[in-house]
């Protein structure tokens, strides 16, 4: 579930056996000249509010988290450019906790209490001798390239406040935050090339000392695919497919186009191009489903007006699926000299969906995300092994490491998209990675170690 996937663990409760990180790292407090830290949350990790009124549309109140379908998250569309219109919505703060569950509160508290970091604000000079962290807030519904430009702006602002135009920062990025941070490091603020000829310049790399990726789907995740197929599950309800389809950032999290994502009941790759709108249209999935189409038309004025909106939405989805393909491929081409070797943290003890099984029912392909839902299982096919891989319940280990798996019947080309400096695996779900004590211990150790001269 998206609410769970974004990072959830019980907050405010004593955790048995939790190590005393404060005393462990207290001797490092004198080393206050460590670089500033930028924390980049994942999807759903920044609160969103209406700028003019201050009313929060994500996450809002606890009752909203339980029972809202969050239709206010739907982006308006410019019918001429097929680009989203953000209107009066802005990212306002980091999502710390909701329903008594932790998102990023615990890791920020650990940075402050055990690591000696104070939260910085642009325009305010840092305290001498005090470590400082900043949170990069962004509208996670939108394009990751636009977010990467925002990250570039934040880093330039930090450099200005420090009075050092060549200052390097550390970056701690969770989930989708790691993708936009990697894009910035590789390409700076340059847009995706329409012709797909990627030339990583490492334009942003000189601004980063250490890049720490936590649960980052470097080869994508099935989560946004499921969100488009059946809605994004939040609490007891779901964000509808037609709302998910307006979020241009979602396709940029989908599995890499070279990775089989849907197989038949015999276990053979169906070779359906995930980023081709024809796959969705021909199989009546997402906003091409009759039920979803009827609801969309009704929600947008009904009649001719509603039908016009639906056609615009379908064209919009086609455009941004293609952009999602380009974005994912931009991160998997060889990086070349000067590429940052990230530190990678993740979980690999949970069975994690890597591909769905689609079976033909009444002439249509019906995708199944759970083994028990397969209506006509074939003898001798191990569907658990076919559909799932080790991971954190959202991101597979192979995606985290940027290395594709070969355990399907019709494998395609090998991919190894990142050169990892160091990896740490936990028996923890995606939702709880940042709150995990072992992760936090490794995090502080990595951040507070001193570079050799």
Question: Please, which pLDDT band fits residue 2 given cuts at 50, 70 and 90?
Answer: very low
| Nearest residue to 141 via CA among 51, 71, 226 | 71
Question: CA-to-CA distance for 261 and 221, rounded, in angstroms?
Answer: 10
Count other Cβ atoms within 10 Å, centred on residue 78. 11
Mean per-residue pLDDT, 101-124: 94
Question: CA-to-CA distance for 320 and 146, rounded, in angstroms?
Answer: 14
In DSSP terms, 83 is beta-bridged to: 78
Coil vs helix vs strand at 82:
coil
Tokens representing 190? 């340059």
In DSSP terms, 46 is beta-bridged to: 94
| Nearest residue to 171 via CA among 145, 192, 148 | 148
pLDDT in tens, 144-187: 999 999 999 999 999 999 999 999 999 999 999 999 999 999 99
pLDDT at res. 403: 82
Mean per-residue pLDDT, 311-324: 98
Cα 273-277-282 angle, rounded to 5 deg: 85
Question: Please, which pLDDT band fits residue 407 given cuts at 50, 70 and 90?
Answer: very low
pLDDT at res. 101: 87
Coil vs helix vs strand at 71:
helix
pLDDT in tens, 265-309: 999 999 999 999 999 999 999 999 999 999 999 999 999 999 999
pLDDT at res. 404: 62
pLDDT at res. 28: 65
431 within 8 A of 347, measured Cβ to Cβ = no
In DSSP terms, 297 is beta-bridged to: none
Nearest-10 Cα torsion for 286, 292, 293, 298: -150
pLDDT in tens, 175-198: 999 999 999 999 999 999 999 999
Question: CA-to-CA distance for 198 and 330, rounded, in angstroms?
Answer: 6
pLDDT at res. 409: 42
398 within 8 A of 404, measured Cβ to Cβ = yes
pLDDT at 420 over 60: yes
Coil vs helix vs strand at 208:
strand
Tokens representing 212? 């720490």
Q: In percent, how much of the chain has pLDDT > 70?
A: 91
pLDDT at 85 over 60: yes
pLDDT at res. 26: 73
pLDDT at 11 over 70: no
**Read out DSSP for 423-437?**
EEEES--GGGTTT-H
pLDDT at res. 453: 52
């Amino acid at each position: 579930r998206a609410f769970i996937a974004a990072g959830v663990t019980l907050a405010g409760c004593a955790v048995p056996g939790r190590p005393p990180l404060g005393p462990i790292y207290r001797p490092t407090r004198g080393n206050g000249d460590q670089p500033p830290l930028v924390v980049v949350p994942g999807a759903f990790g920044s609160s969103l509010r209406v700028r003019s009124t201050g009313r929060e549309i994500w996450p809002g109140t606890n009752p909203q988290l339980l029972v809202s379908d969050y239709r206010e998250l739907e982006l308006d569309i410019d019918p001429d450019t097929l680009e989203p219109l953000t209107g009066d919505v802005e990212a306002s703060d980091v999502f710390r906790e909701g329903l008594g569950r932790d998102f990023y509160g615990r890791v920020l508290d650990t940075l402050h209490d055990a690591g000696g970091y104070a939260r910085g604000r642009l325009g305010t000079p840092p305290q001498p001798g005090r470590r400082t962290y900043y949170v990069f807030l962004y509208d996670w519904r939108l394009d990751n390239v636009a977010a990467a430009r925002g990250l570039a702006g934040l880093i330039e602002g930090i450099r200005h406040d420090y009075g050092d135009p060549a200052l390097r920062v550390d970056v701690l990025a969770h989930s989708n935050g790691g993708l936009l941070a990697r894009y910035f490091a590789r390409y700076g603020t340059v847009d995706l090339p329409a012709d797909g000829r990627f030339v990583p310049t490492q334009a942003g790399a000189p601004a980063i000392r250490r890049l720490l990726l936590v649960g980052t789907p470097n080869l994508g995740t099935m989560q946004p695919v499921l969100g488009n197929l059946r809605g994004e599950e939040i609490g007891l309800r779901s964000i509808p497919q037609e709302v998910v389809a307006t979020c241009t950032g979602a396709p940029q999290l989908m599995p890499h186009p070279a990775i089989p994502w849907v197989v038949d009941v015999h276990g053979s790759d169906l070779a359906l191009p995930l980023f081709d709108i024809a796959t969705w249209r021909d199989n009546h999935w997402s906003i091409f489903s009759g039920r979803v189409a009827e609801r969309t038309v009704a929600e947008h004025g009904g009649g001719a007006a509603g039908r016009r909106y639906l056609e615009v939405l379908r064209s919009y989805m086609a455009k941004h699926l293609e952009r999602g393909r380009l974005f994912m491929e931009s991160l998997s081409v060889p990086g070349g000299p000067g590429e940052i070797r990230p530190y990678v943290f993740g979980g690999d003890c949970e069975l994690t969906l890597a591909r769905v099984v689609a079976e033909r029912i009444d002439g249509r392909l019906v995708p199944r995300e759970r083994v028990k839902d397969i209506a006509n299982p074939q003898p001798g096919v191990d569907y658990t092994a076919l559909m799932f891989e080790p991971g954190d319940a959202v991101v597979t280990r192979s995606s985290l490491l940027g290395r594709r798996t070969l355990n399907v019947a019709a494998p395609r080309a090998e991919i190894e998209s990142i050169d990892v400096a160091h990896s740490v695996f936990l028996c923890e779900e995606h939702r709880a990675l940042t709150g995990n004590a072992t992760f936090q211990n490794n995090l502080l150790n990595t951040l507070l170690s001193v570079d050799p001269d």
